[in-house]
Amino acid sequence: MISDENILLIEDLSNGAERFSVPVICTVPKMDTSVFRDFKYAPRLIDVSGHLKNRPVSKKIYSCRCYGSCDVNCQCASGIYTKTGVVNNMDHLMCDIVQECNDYCECALWCGNRIAQKGSNISMEIFARDLKCGWGVRAKMNIPKGVYIGEYTGELIDDDEAAMRSDTTFLFETRIGEQTYTIDAKYCGNYTRFINHSCNPNVKVANVSWDQSENQLIHMCFYTDRIIMKNEEITIDYGDSWWAAKKFACLCGSSKCKYQ
Ligand SMILES: C[S@@+](CC[C@H](N)C(=O)[O-])C[C@H]1O[C@@H](n2cnc3c(N)ncnc32)[C@H](O)[C@@H]1O
């Protein structure tokens, strides 16, 4: 039930689709709540028909024969994660593709190189930041550095379709193999589409794949770049090209602000 007077506006925006509830909290009068009426929660990427079609496996990439968890000698282990699944070195995360183990790998489901593919269990909530920035996302618990917190989901559309979308606010570029695609999370996505920009962000976005095919789908995955305390706002850097298309100033408040 959506009402401006309630502090807890929605108990769980995900409707049980996540491993944690995604409450929407409003303490700012006159916030625009219409976004939640039209919003379809999608814990995974979907295509315009509402489903992510199976893509044929053209040529299989490497799959490992490890028993239990892969170690550093395993060819498909990215070396990005520690044995407990936390990112080792945030600079390495910014490589072309973080390759996780895939369906053909013989390692266990609990292998330390299967992290983003299993989804996050780090609780987040959507809150009313202010009337100018709108809604934002904050942590419901303390989170260590290097932890996977979610994937940018929404409709997966091709370049022609993306060019026809009038609102570019929620467009995020990705690719399948060599072909570029766009994720649009305006009407359909998960909590990550409410994450605001900061010029001093606490979360980094990496290209991650767990496909067994050479024609891999690149997932846009979010990892904490420092320790995040309970109730701290989650922020990412939207990048120069996003800001180039906008006619308003950044309100991140950081002393490092680049888009004032
Ligand atoms: C991807 S959405 C983030 C969620 C959004 N706050 C909402 O309520 O739906 C991006 C929009 O949020 C606002 N926003 C995010 N970060 C901002 C910032 N640093 N300064 C000003 N506006 C920001 C702008 O309106 C921007 O178009």
Residue of 129, 133, 246, 255 to mutate, ligand 1, most atoms within 8 A of C-beta:
133
Decide: helix, strand or coil at residue 122.
Answer: coil
Q: Which of 14-28, 212-226, 235-249 has the lowest mean pLDDT?
A: 212-226
Q: How far is the CA of 236 from the centre of ligand 1 (A)?
A: 11
Mean of the per-residue pLDDT values for the chain?
91
According to the model, what pLDDT value does residue 157 have? 94
Give residue 221's pLDDT band: very low, low, confident or very high (50, 70, 90).
very high
Question: Which residues are near ligand 1 (CB < 6 Å)?
Answer: 35, 133-136, 169-170, 193-194, 196-197, 250-252
Question: What domains does the chain contain, in order, with CATH numbers?
Answer: 8-27+37-244 (2.170.270.10)
Render pLDDT for 59-81 as a digit per residue (tens, 0 to 9): 677 789 999 988 878 877 668 89
Q: How far is the CA of 125 from the centre of ligand 1 (A)?
A: 16
pLDDT value at 213 more than 70: yes
Q: How far is the CA of 121 from the centre of ligand 1 (A)?
A: 25
Q: What value, to the nearest 5°, has the Cα angle with vertex 145 and ends 139 and 196?
A: 45
Note the maximum CA span of the chain: 57
Please give the ipTM for the structure prediction. Answer: 0.99
51 vs 113 pLDDT, higher one: 113
Residue entry with tokens 């893509």:
55
Write out the two tokens for 210. 């767990």
pLDDT value at 1 more than 50: no
CA distances, 234 to each of 119, 150, 173 (Å) = 17, 11, 20
**34 dihedral zone (left: phi>0; alpha: psi -120 to 50; beta):** alpha
Q: How far is the CA of 195 from the centre of ligand 1 (A)?
A: 8
CA distance 259 to 253: 11
